[in-house]
Amino acid sequence: MKFIKSIVLLCFISISINQLHSQSSAKAKPELDVSFAKRTYNTISVKDQEPIKIDGKIEDAAWNTVEWTSDFIEWEPDNSTPPSQQTKMKIVYDDKNLYVAFRCYEPDPENIVQRMGRRDDFPGDWIELNIDSYNDDRTAFSFTTSVSGVKGDEFVSNNGNNWDSSWNPIWYVKTNIDEEGWTAELRIPLSQLRFSSGKDQVWGIQSTRRYFSKEERSTWQPIPANPAGWVSSFGELHGLKDLKPQKQLEIQPYSVSKYKTYEGEAGNPFRDGKEAELTAGLDAKIGITNDLTLDLTINPDFGQVDADPGAVALDGFEIFFQERRPFFVENKNVFDYSFTNSQDNLFFSRRIGRAPQRQIYAGSGVAYVDQPNNTTILGAAKFSGKTEDGWTIGVLESVTGKEYAQIISEEGGESEAIVEPLTNYFVGRVQKDFNERNSYVGTMFTATHRNIEDELSFLHTQAFSGGLDFKHNWKDRNYYIEGNAVLSHVRGSKEAILNTQQSIVHLFQREGAKHVEVNPNRTSLTGTGGRLEIGKGGGGKWRYNAGGKWISPELETNDIGFLRQADDIRQYIGIRRLFNESTSWFRRANIGVEQTSAFDFEGNYNRIQYEIGGFINYKNNWWSEAGAAHKPRIFVNSFLRGGPRWRYNEENFWYLFSGTDQRKKLSFKAGYVHSQAKQDAFGLRRYVVGAKYQPLNSLNLSLDLEYEQNPSKTQYITERAFSDNTRYILGEIDAESLSATLRVNYSINPNLSIQYYGQPFIFKADYSNLNYVNDPVAKDLNKRITYYNDEQISFENDSYLIDENQNGIMDYSLGNPDFVHVQFRSNLVARWEYIPGSEIFFVWSQGVNGAGDVSDSFSGIVDTQLFRQKPQNTFLIKATYRFIL
């Protein structure tokens, strides 16, 4: 009923906005009689002409062999109208290169914004060329240049739903400003593209211009405001004859010198205050065919990679962090197999090189320990690409070495203990397009093999997963049905499989669950999962989808994938209305509603949620985003960490974010999230403020502040035995977090830049009013828990002593759960691309980790734990040279 009310509300808002739109439509720009039929451009070979000099001036005689093409049409904000300024394009080629020229008209030089930035920043005015060289309507290569000469390049997949900026081909560009506007010349080596060996070829092409002063996009191939897909809407490039596919061969050796300083520990030989090392490695790209490339890395270095943001999880689950390492980020779309949401995936590359899974601690005869932070990647190889007949192929193989912790005993003896075994990781991915590229089917397989030794018997010896996926589009790709199914199988010792059964992901031991049970004699687990969805993804002004997904209790993919929680069945349905035709007061807007529900495999009805949300981009380019949700039913199987199913109080939340025009030299954003449960059982207050400032075209700064309060009367602490029963002990918590993220980017030129990233993060958890679970599924909070009275509980020596039956004898105790986590991470990176593809990095990283006093203020914690604590400093110089053979 509430979802139906939401639909009615959505329709009412849609009608209201439509009425406002009709009232203001007279002020909108007049539409042209635009046809969305595919345009064509005829190019010609200039191999017999004098080579084109890339200087941005378009004066070479070879350019005169082809005509200009123009008639760009505005795409955003006023679709199918004349752009404020027109654009022209020429394309020619020879045996080795594709050449592209652009003229971007702008008679007033004050309107040309020449902001500088690092590669893929897309600052100021820019022009972009997309090339679908297989003409498959799904994938493309994108080349963008700003008026200041900053390059951007991305590999486009999934018909424009995925843009991978980690792809860094070698190509050349120059720009020039004259009295008519600005021009650009591009030289794109054919070795950086993938295309067939056909004698006469047709490529898909599109060009997009950003007119910065009016935040306007115009395209060479006209496209509707709500296209069903980006790549499938391209025009065509004709005239490509006798092109020879180019096999790529690049070798990039590197060397790294690293020096660390930190606060030494008296008597600890592993922490004497400084470390130095010199390493070397090799990356290579080998074109096996024009379609398929082999990427190799030996002893890869990831020293210049940004640090992960600060985070604390009180629910016990693993925190998901994005992959940032270049070798694994590039072509990641080929290996993606997200089977229920964006995080649950058969392949999570951060498992490769992870922190060792066995921890050795000082104590019990051990005086000092040197524990490695990460597992060494001995080598890795990727074989990936897409063939001209529609096969997408990806194979990844990686080996990580044994890792040992160095130990000094209390008697002074030295030894080592293995903490991570020799491990082999394998991932294979295949997809095939068919039905004129409107459909695909695919499969994926992963395998993890560990050389287990006795001390590591808690790890799986083998882990396998696989899946089948598909998508079918019809009616000009406006409608779709897609789905997948996955299967996993893990093997190991009884100890390893028992650990898996009892982990937070599975919790087979949970009290009251009849469909799962712990079996200590098992040596393997096999599970399934998947998703099926149908919907409308293009055309018109409405979008909708409906689907379901499941994860069986035994599914386990965390050896090389990511799975947050098993034993889950979900249903969802959503509808969204788009307003992409600008009016006198907004440029574009959308509003939508969604309903979801969740069950477990026992049939328990765990959750239902109704949500509404929308976004609006105002005429002055300010923006707002708002939403709200109602959760009348919330049951959680994992809250008591193996205890019975737990009921949360009914919850309502809402959020509002808004910001000024992000193009301006100075811009701001602010947001607020508010959540509140009945009986004040829990809540959330999140405040977000951010600012960006660009005092110079070459310098920009941003600062984001976030403060969060997350109080709860029932935060899980621990469990204790009492009178043949298990007491699940909770407490009221006043959880607060504060973070600030500062970024400074100074781009001297497109090839020389300096970036700074710094983030302090503080999390405080202050517990009070301890209580225990009485009836975990009671609707009334006061029946669900029982508070300890003053005669039952006392606090001594930083511990709670509990005499529950009040007989004068302590029944159980627990340590003080209060804590403060303090973290500071910063990176200062100077990057110089001294020749295309070859770079030198100078890096200074700082890090602080610590604990504070929960009774102290945030300012006091910053003073004592950040300013007065000696940080760890890492100084790094990395040099690479890219040989193109």
Would you tell me how many other CB atoms lie within 10 Å of the CB of residue 313?
8
Weakest-pLDDT range from 102-111, 188-197, 584-593, 663-672: 188-197
Weakest-pLDDT range from 308-312, 412-416, 647-651, 767-771: 308-312
**Distances from the Cα of 805 to the Cαs of 790, 792, 811, 820, in angstroms?**
12, 7, 8, 33
Is pLDDT above 90 for 211?
A: yes
Asked whether the beta carbons of 874 and 843 are under 8 A apart, the reply is yes
Q: What is the mean pLDDT of the chain?
A: 91
186-196 as b/e, with b when 16 or more CB fall inside 10 Å? bbbbbbbbbbb
Q: Can you give the pLDDT at residue 157?
A: 87
Q: Can you give the pLDDT at residue 300?
A: 80
Asked whether the beta carbons of 741 and 307 are under 8 A apart, the reply is no
d(CA 767, CA 763): 13
Q: Can you give the pLDDT at residue 23?
A: 47
d(CA 761, CA 319): 16
Q: Can you give the pLDDT at residue 540?
A: 87
Weakest-pLDDT range from 246-255, 466-475, 662-671: 246-255
d(CA 490, CA 523): 8
pLDDT band at 24; cut points 50, 70, 90: very low
The proportion of the chain whose per-residue pLDDT surpasses 70, expressed as a percent, equals 96
Asked whether the beta carbons of 174 and 184 are under 8 A apart, the reply is yes
DSSP string, 118-187: STT---SSEEEEEEETT--SS-EEEEEEETT--EEEEEEEGGGTEEETT-----EEEEEEETTEEEEEEE
Question: What mean pLDDT is predicted for residues 180-200?
Answer: 91
Torsion-angle region of 538 (φ positive above 0: left; ψ -120 to 50: alpha; else: beta): beta
Is pLDDT above 60 for 26?
A: no
Is pLDDT above 50 for 22?
A: no
CATH level 2 (architecture), domain 31-241: Sandwich (2.60)
d(CA 405, CA 668): 48
Q: Can you give the pLDDT at residue 27?
A: 46
Question: What mean pLDDT is predicted for residues 790-808?
Answer: 93
Q: Can you give the pLDDT at residue 4?
A: 52
**606-633 pLDDT tens trace:** 999 999 999 999 999 999 999 999 999 9
Strands (DSSP E) contained in 678-751 are: 683-696, 699-709, 712-722, 725-749
First-residue to last-residue Cα distance in the chain: 66
Question: What mean pLDDT is predicted for residues 283-298?
Answer: 85
Is pLDDT above 50 for 25?
A: no
pLDDT band at 303; cut points 50, 70, 90: low
Is pLDDT above 90 for 138?
A: no
Both tokens of residue 379? 């080598």
d(CA 632, CA 598): 12
Question: What mean pLDDT is predicted for residues 688-695?
Answer: 96
pLDDT band at 702; cut points 50, 70, 90: very high
Question: What mean pLDDT is predicted for residues 761-770?
Answer: 95
If one compares 36 and 529, the residue with the highest pLDDT of the two is: 529
Q: For the chain, count helices (H), then strands (E).
A: 5, 47
725-752 as b/e, with b when 16 or more CB fall inside 10 Å? ebbbbbbbbbbbbbbbbebebbbeebbe
Q: Can you give the pLDDT at residue 31?
A: 58
**814-823 pLDDT tens trace:** 999 999 999 9
Give domain limits for the chain.
Answer: 31-241, 258-301+311-566, 668-885
Q: Can you give the pLDDT at residue 431?
A: 95
If one compares 32 and 188, the residue with the highest pLDDT of the two is: 188
- Picking from 461, 366, 472, the residue whose alpha carbon sits closest to that of residue 410 is 366
Would you tell me how many other CB atoms lie within 10 Å of the CB of residue 529?
25
Is pLDDT above 50 for 863?
A: yes
Weakest-pLDDT range from 1-10, 67-76, 263-272, 430-439: 1-10
Asked whether the beta carbons of 676 and 706 are under 8 A apart, the reply is no
For the range 716-720, what are the long-range contacts, defined as Cβ-Cβ under 8 Å and sequence gap of 24 or more? 716/314, 716/639, 716/640, 716/641, 717/767, 717/770, 717/814, 717/817, 718/814, 718/817, 719/640, 719/641, 719/643, 720/802, 720/811, 720/812, 720/814
**354-392 pLDDT tens trace:** 999 999 988 878 889 999 988 999 999 999 888 888 889
Question: What mean pLDDT is predicted for residues 131-160?
Answer: 92
Sign of CA dihedral 856, 858, 864, 870: positive
The proportion of the chain whose per-residue pLDDT surpasses 90, expressed as a percent, equals 71
Q: Can you give the pLDDT at residue 164?
A: 85
